[in-house]
Each structure stands twice: as structure tokens, then as C-alpha cells.
Amino acid sequence: MSETARFSRAFFFLLDGARIDVFTELLERVDLPNISRYMVEPGSFRSATTVFPSVTGVAYVPYLTGLFPGRANIPGYRWFDRERYQKRPLSLMRFRNYHGLGSYMMDRDLSRDATTLFEILRPSSNIFSGISRGTGMRRNAAYFRRVPAAVKFFRTGSWDHVDRAGEQFLVRAARRKREKFTFHTTYSVDEYSHLHGPFSPRVRACYIDFDRVFGRLITTLRSLGQLDSSLLMLGADHGHTEVHEHFDLEGFIERRGLKTLYFPNQVKRWLNADAAVMVAGNGMGHIYLKGPAKWTARPTANEHLERHPQLVDDLLGEDAIDHVIYRPGSDGEVRVRSKRGDASVWMDGEQITYKVNTQDPFGYGPLPTTMTRAEALEHTAQSEYPDAPVQVAQVFESPRAGDFLVSANRGYDLRRERHNHLSCHGSLHREHMTVPFTVNHPILDRTPRSVDAFPTILNLLGREIPTGLDGKDLTRAPS
Ligand SMILES: [Zn+2]
């Protein structure tokens, strides 16, 4: 431990799919007494913003790497790789679905330029997250339990056994006194929200169950004499909203005469697709179009629109669709269109240029044309679309991003009904983009981004913060 370190070890708790309002309400009713007493009271509790797409796995990446999903090269829960689809017909790396076995590919998919907290804070351990680079096999013991556990969930509709297993791993990790970093996930809030709705009694009970698990961890840490030297931080990957109607985005593209690859018809389109639709959450989707040449050609969106002039208008003509986002040319412009109007965004390092072309597609009040990323968040944090100018730009830093990205309207999701899906997430909407964030140490009085957790943890453990991150330390005001 260096002289400046406030803590000697850290725990991060990812409460998958936690809504800020439900979490706050339970806190106020003293239904989360341990979180309240050991994180909120000695430290800070904030409404934070997550990333676009606001989906499981993808939105874990910022916490663990300090990078947005675009630069980390994981732009979706499902994605399509144009280059590999064309050149490597036998490869499994040509498109991805992190559901089930695909989750084992996340570490491979993560950009080589990303460094995880597991790699820096060794020894570290991971409990059920898809990203685990740096833990080593032994401290990623939950790895082989994840898929069988999920299969059991789909068979029984119960997620309780997974969380129980997670708790055992957590207590074991806590007892390893030398361990520096432990990342613990709780999936039940997310899974039961999809099945029963985000406000259902079953989901509320999951928040309370997690508080009990956390309470038992506190007891363990106290018995080890490590309670005061443990950094405790909690965040979520996305919120949830109820779904009233399903819109079949895959069918919408297929009906335009395009041979469309999507899950689960990937085998049928193994070789000859001329479009791909990758929906997740299910409130967002990536649309990839081949163009007249090979998949490797990567036409600009304007070139695609010459061949499909009605595409964006037809998408926006659907009640289900709120925003369509694309790069018109090759100068870095990101265009956002909604029924309200359209705007152009450029992200150049820290600087965001935001130009409204007709009416503001997000319905923001007047914004400065140029802002820092921090200012862009500050101006939009309380709006219906927090941090959207930065979020729509960052996702295109991944070469795996679609040609057109679609963000759903409230109340809709973007897949034909397959399972019982009462709730969704993934979009730019406030209720998907806002998450609870609490830590047992004071932080600056500003809206945190999930990506800020990474440098904050490193600083509070007395470690050097790598340069070039998307996240900013929440304990130090920018100089
Ligand atoms: Zn999730």
C-alpha cells in the first residue's frame, strides 16, 4: 500500500439492471440498511450515467477498464464484424452473441489496448462477469458455473441459486486477506425485471436480498479486521422500462428484400447475408448493410442511403423508434435523427461539437456548440437523454459498430416476441441510462459516469491512474 492509499483492497458490486428510483425508494424506506450504513452514510450516493448501448456486459466494460465500449471494441451485446464475415468464412469471430457460450469470448473481444482492474489490482477475482481478463483461472472460479447456471434459470425460471452461489464466492474472496480487488455481480434484478417487470415484488425482493448478502460480507470483513481498509463501491449497468409493444426490427430489414443475418438465424445466413441486425436489451439495435461491393468495402451511411433513400424516414415512421444514429460521411460526423429533428455531433478528444440542424432530436434546450465532455454531461444530466451527445459519438469508435444504430421509444422493444419479455433496456432514454452509484468515500458533487469508477478505485488504492482513459477520478476536481 502506498502512503497516499486510503484503502488496501476494493470490492465492486454490480447490481445488474437496478433502477435508480426503486433503489432510492428502498434506501429511503430503510429496506437496504447495510448499503445505507456502510456505503451511503460514510460516503456518497449519486444518480450516475451508464453508456450506450445500455445493455448487460457492454455496460460492465467501463467499470472494469475506464473506457467507453467504443474504444474497448465491445459496442453491443450482439455485434457483426464486416471484415471477418467477408474474409473468414469458418471463423467464429465474425459476429457475436454474448448470450450463453458467447459470453466466454468477451475477454478475447476486449481491445488489446484496454487494461482491466483485474490486471492492475492483483490478486483479483471475478464472480460471474463476462469480463475477467487478469484474474487467472483460479480466481475466476465462477467462470464455469455461469452457463450451466443460466441454463438452469431458463429451465426453472429461478435465478436464486445463481445469486446464492455468487454469495459463497464473495465470502470466500473476502476471506483471502491478500486479495486486492473483487468484482461481484448480481443478475436477479435484471432477469426478473425482464420476466415480471421492474417494479414487481419479486424484483424488489432481489434488491433487499443483495443488501443481506452485502451485510454478511461486512460481518466477514469486520472479523478479519479489514472493514475500515476496504473500499466498497456499487453501480449498475442500466435501468429498465416496461414493454407494451414489440417491433420486429429484424423483419423490418428483411422485408426490404435484404438477406438478413440475426440471432437465431445465423446458420442460415452463415455465408450470404447482405444485411445484419443485432438487437440487444432489447431497446437498441445495430443495422449493418453490405453495399454494392464486398462487406469489407464499408460504404458511408450517405452511400447506403443512395441505395435505400427511405430507410431512415421509414424507421422513424415507426412508433417504436425514437432515434436513428449514423455517420453520414467519413469526417467523423455522427448524425442523430428523431421525429423531433436532427443534429450532428463530432467528438475530438475531450471536445464535443453539437450542431442542431433542424430541431433538437433530443429536445434539449439551447446548448453551446462546443463543450468539453464534462460540460456535455452537465448540460444534459437532468434531461430525458443524459449524456447522449458523448454516448452516440463514442460507440462509433468501434469498427464493430453498425452502419445505423436504432434506439427504441419508451414502451417498445425491437424484437419480435420470443420469450416473455415484459421489460427492456438498451436505449438512450433516461430510465435506461441512469443508474444508482454509491461508494463508502466522499466524491465530488457532480454526476458520475460509470467509466469514472475505474480511476477512482485506483486512486483510492494509491495506484497510478493510466493516461488516456475516458473516465475521470471522482475524488479530484479537474485541474
Ligand atoms: Zn444488465
- What is residue 12's three-state secondary structure? strand
Question: Could you tell me which of 100, 110, 95 has the C-alpha nearest to residue 64?
Answer: 110
CA of 370 relative to ligand 1 center, distance in Å: 33
For every residue of 211-278, DSSP letters joined together read HHHHHHHHHHHHHHT-STTEEEEEE-S---EE--EE--HHHHHHTTT--EE-TT-TTTTTTT-SEEEE
Position 141 scores a pLDDT of 65
CA of 239 relative to ligand 1 center, distance in Å: 8
Using pLDDT thresholds of 50, 70 and 90, give the confidence band for residue 1: very low
Q: Which fold has domain 9-74+110-242+429-460?
A: Alkaline Phosphatase, subunit A (3.40.720)
Residues 183-202, mean pLDDT to the nearest whole number: 93
Give pLDDT tens digits for 108-129: 999 999 999 999 999 999 998 8
For every residue of 47-58, DSSP letters joined together read EEE--SS--TTG
Asked if 270 contacts 46 with a C-beta cutoff of 8 angstroms, the reply is: no
Q: Which residue has the higher pLDDT, 89 or 255?
A: 255
- What is residue 14's three-state secondary structure? strand
CA of 242 relative to ligand 1 center, distance in Å: 15
Q: Residue 198 pLDDT > 90, yes or no?
A: yes
CA of 190 relative to ligand 1 center, distance in Å: 6
Question: Could you tell me which of 311, 309, 356 has the C-alpha nearest to residue 336?
Answer: 356
Q: Which residue has the higher pLDDT, 268 or 250?
A: 250
All 3 cell numbers of residue 140?
A: 475466476
Q: Residue 420 pLDDT > 90, yes or no?
A: no
CA of 251 relative to ligand 1 center, distance in Å: 25
Q: Residue 158 pLDDT > 80, yes or no?
A: no
Give pLDDT tens digits for 206-215: 999 999 999 9
Position 37 scores a pLDDT of 98
Number of H helices, E strands in the chain: 18, 21
Q: Residue 140 pLDDT > 90, yes or no?
A: no
Give pLDDT tens digits for 287-336: 999 999 999 999 999 999 999 999 999 999 999 999 999 999 999 999 99
Residues 53-71, mean pLDDT to the nearest whole number: 97
15-41: string of b/e by CB count within 10 Å (b at 16+)?
Answer: bbbbbbebbeebbeeebbebbbebbbe
Give pLDDT tens digits for 86-105: 999 888 889 999 987 788 88
Give pLDDT tens digits for 319-330: 999 999 999 999
CA of 444 relative to ligand 1 center, distance in Å: 26
Using pLDDT thresholds of 50, 70 and 90, give the confidence band for residue 419: low
Q: Domain ranges for the chain, please list them.
A: 9-74+110-242+429-460, 245-421
Q: Residue 184 pLDDT > 80, yes or no?
A: yes
Q: Residue 377 pLDDT > 90, yes or no?
A: yes
Above pLDDT 90, what percent of the chain? 84
Using pLDDT thresholds of 50, 70 and 90, give the confidence band for residue 3: very low
Using pLDDT thresholds of 50, 70 and 90, give the confidence band for residue 155: confident
Residues 243-248, mean pLDDT to the nearest whole number: 95
Q: Residue 42 pLDDT > 50, yes or no?
A: yes
Q: Residue 2 pLDDT > 50, yes or no?
A: no
CA of 15 relative to ligand 1 center, distance in Å: 8
Residues 36-63, mean pLDDT to the nearest whole number: 97
Q: What is the mean pLDDT of the chain?
A: 94
CA of 115 relative to ligand 1 center, distance in Å: 22
Residues, beta carbon < 5 Å, ion ligand 1: 16-17, 56, 190, 237
